[in-house]
A and B are shown apart, each in its own frame.
Chain A
Amino acid sequence: MEPDTPSAPPVVAVVVVHDPGDWFDATLDAFARQDYPNLRVLFLVVDDVADSDTASFESIDERIQHRMPGSFVRSIGANVGFGSAANEVLRLVEGDNGFFLICHDDVAPEPDALRILVEELYRSNAGAVGPKFVDWDDPNVLQAVGLGMDRFGEIDPVIDVGEVDQEQHDGVRDVFVLPSAYLLVRADLFRELGGFDPVIEYYGEDTELCWRIHHSGARVVVVPSARVRHLGQLRQRRPDLRHGQLRARHRMRSVATLTGASRLPARSVEMVLLTITELVVGLFTARFGQAWNSFRALVGLVPRTPALIARRRQVKPIRRVPEREVYSLQEGGSARLNSYLRSRETSTYVGDGVQVRRWRQSATAPVVAWIAVIVGLVVGGRSFFDGGLPPVGEFLAFPDSPRQLLSTFLSGWNPNGAGATSPNPTGWATLSGLSVVTLFRMGMLQTVFVLGLLIVGVAGVWRLAAVFPSTRARIAALLVYALSPLVSGAMSSGRLTVLVVYAATPWVLHLVRRASGVETADALSAHSDLADGVVDLAPRERIRRTVATALVLAVAVAFAPVMLPMAVLVSLVFALGTLLARGSTATAAWSLVTGLGAALGAAVLNVPWITSWTWEGIVGAPPVGEAGLGIVKLASFEIGRTDFAALALALFLPVIAAVLLARAWRLTWAVRSALMVLVFGFLAVLADRGSLPIDAPEAGVLLVPVAVGLAISAAAALAAFDLDVRGGNFGWRQPLGILSSIAVVVGLAPGLGALADGSFQTPTTPLARLLDASLPDSSSAGDYNVLLIGDPRLLPVPATDYRDGVAWAIIDDGPLDVRDRWMPPSNAAAELVTTALDEMAATSTLRAGRLLAPLSIRFVVVPEFDGVASTVNDPLPLPEGLVASLEDQLDLVALRPGLPTLEAFENRAWLPTYAQLDEAGVAVSDSAGAEVLVRADLSASAPVFVGADQLSTASDEVTAGVVHLGVPFDETWSLTVDGTAIEPRRAFGETTAFDVPAAGLGELRYESSTFRWFAVLAQIALWIAAIVVAFRVRVSVGRRAPLLVADETLIDLTDSALPALVDPGFSSDSFPSVVEVGAASDAPDTDSVDPPERDPDQGTDQEDGVSP
């Protein structure tokens, strides 16, 4: 359809349409009512046949033609993004006369909107003009009146969220950015600029275009008298997009390609610094996701450098004005930082059946609280920063090289204990990967890792406490969790497992509640007794969040298997709490399903390691010789050294108070947290008394959910005091609320006091260090193992239970490192050791050293004091008869000079780990049983392959006879002598030996099975799949689908007549056929504009302002 020759300049409206909703009819009606006389409308319809959920082209075409007969409607096939789709106008429209009106499909302009824009464009001699956007449903609420932008590409929305239109922004003015939802641009300019940047699919295409318009010298002007309603629900319409990542990526691209060459180096440095700052601040303000997106986008620029350079070359010709002039149009400082500093941020809250966006209470108080927490942590652990973490408890040193850690993980051989072919812990690979963070400096990584667990845990509670739209409440939760005596106790005793659980539990809870749809409730809906702010989640999103939970849980499980049952229990308690608080049954069910699903997922992600688990391995060595802390110590989290820990009992007052005071969702959370305290408190007490029918995790682990419960209870109590008590009639509620606040303060005292020491009172001479110092290195005497035996609380590595209060563990002759904290695989070594101990305990022999010889146990060590659980002033009793039994043995000799902290004995009957048996050994090595061993004096055997391990091939001269390996029998060890392979066989019934027929050069190696490699690859694939699902990673494969629009000319503007008078105030002379380029130099000083704060979540380049 070609209209009659108009009197006004021609305008071609380009509307990109994608699966429109019911509102699209209103859009069509609005376009149909435009009073502009020379408007042609081109609808470009995304017709993605691959997506069966989208409306078909035919149905959309029918709707358009029904309301706007004569419109141009074309299919563009697959969705290539808004910018690329809109650029089709350059192909479909011939000629440069007139204007292009770029439109989303969810706008409804007022009838005169286009006419006013065209008039103002002429009047202002602008290159692009845009209207005032108002809310679709409530036109009195402003959405955008032009946008500001800082030099980092950050958008300043100029107006506040929910700001009512009182004509306060109605002056025509230059702006830096106009939203692309309804943007009038000169056709010649748009064509010269090449349209939108085709790389930018969504988010930022308007920013980039307007930036280039500024470079071209044209003005960008907002005309508020033109009003357009805008729906803008891109997040809802396109849940598949990574909105935050796209926004950040395109922002970075725009800055990289459009910043002038002279300013680019400095800008790059600024961007790096700003991003790092953003990361740090984001970590403390629950905005880490945004900061992470910025970081990813910044890093992502590096591989895209060639493309960026090419783009800069493309843009260069249109740089017609000096860079400083464009720079002067941008806002000073950082728009994002400004929003922080002004404490003006918004967040989405769930009301009674609706979601609303409101101001957050405060943005600076959390920063201050977080800074206080970080400073506290730095002060509390200050001695660790220069001296490193002492090897207390599980704080064993990390290996020198991450490669070593990775190699050990990849190997099929687990060297822990006596060693065995067994899947290795996922945590080894994880730690190896984490070493990137500290540039492979493992010592630093250990400190960062341990202290980082505290930060991660506290951050988890901070995120979890986001269910309270109250800054005070969140800070209370933050401080209660951060300053729990559990932290100082775990740090002082080196309980890495407790710290891992401490870090993971709040995150699991947070992710479970999110996967259940529980979001932050709207404070203003308090009166409605809303049990939870629940949102309906699409199945795909629910699955994604469950997978994310599984991923977090899997990482935790990689370090602390006990986290698996803990996560299930936590989910169960969450569900029970929901039901008890009469919350939604669906929420309860989903939380349980999510917890179980996440646990299952985490278990799968830890395959094949999980196949080697035992219940003992999961819960850790049982607390034999029961700790017997008692309820008071348990309730005050006194699992380690913490002075005045009893004051922490005050934290239990808010648990009851919150249930008494709270209403609505605060009550729901109060009940959940109280149940968390109650259930896990019960478990801790019962475990402490040894009353549970199964082995339970140590008290510290069970107390973590209690600490989380206390933190959330404190938050609920304070939130209830703020919303439900304050301002009411005076009664018992006010004093109780005040008492709760005081109790929180009192309860924080022990944790605060624990920071004074600077090392959380960790012992200065840890047992692991003494052990390492008192035992000789592997030498020409051969490699050896050490048998640790005693109270499991004193053993520096996970131990196997022997009998009440006695456990044992085998370590090798190297220094202890973090790998040793994982439970060794169970194997035949246990039987050998148990037999030896049994015989010794029964005084059945005084030659127990010979029984231990095949496992190459050269030293037997009984720890007495570790400076934590057992001190000189408060010693743990040594197991009765243990030292005496060891002293009895004729082949065990006490090590001299002795150390006051341990009893060490050398086994004079020991056999080196790799040994050439002497004649006596050869004679009995094919026999089995303690009766044989006890008669065999193997001490004359000679060491070979000294220093060999499973990671490399060891070579040594061997003689005819038997080469014995002090490891449980394993066929994957191989020995070749002068190239001839020798089959391994069992020795002494349990260990490995090779019968060497003739002397020669032997080569000993361990060969991981092919299955191991498949297992590792499968595990990697599983992790990648989980990451892809959880983080919605999309990888572009193949070429982008071409547009389906045929190469045709729909509209020809070449011969358009001069514009007619469209406004009584203007003559036809006012409509030059060609607008003079470079007329934008009189742009107003943007500094004079007072841009209102912007909510980064809103993104009006606009996150909700872009149509798909």
Chain B
Amino acid sequence: MPELAHQAEDGPFEHVRECPACAALLNRQRTLASGLRRLAADWRCVEAPARVESKLTAAFLGQAGLTVLRPATRWWVPVATWATAAAAVVALAMFLARDRHVVPAHRSTSSRVELAAVEPPADLETLGDSSDADNDFIPMPNAARIEPNEDLNLVRVEVPRSAMIALGYAVSEDRASEPVEAEVVLGADGLARAVRFFD
């Protein structure tokens, strides 16, 4: 609009007042500019990610025949990345290894799904003194009591951890098939009288 630009140096509003066509054009331009400003204000929070902008800029500079300046290579970035990854793997392995031991029922197992937990009958008391770590035998459910002069023998077996459930231990579902070592006391009749499990 050269005519309008020329008139603007002298005072655009005088011409606009005399020229209805230019007045209409100016009015439309103002409306458009106002709308664009409003749109820009509304979309201020929405902008392309930095990587898109950098790629667009690089493409533009490439098409325009200009040199793309690459940032200097930082040698410590891959080193730090690999060190962090190794530390994460070691920490995870230690966490998982630490968690692989017998969890008695009275300990908190809230972070695990419990398969089942059966309480022993009230009259089947623990034969071992709980303060005596050397003798933590638990009577077998429904086993006869041990007579004063009864012959006792011992058998060591490895059983699935799920076998502990019947003795009142809580066993998590994901560890039910793991093996656990047990010592079983046999009475004079050859039937199991008591058992204890080992970590």
| A and B assemble together | no
| Chain A interfacial positions (CB closer than 8 Å to B) | none
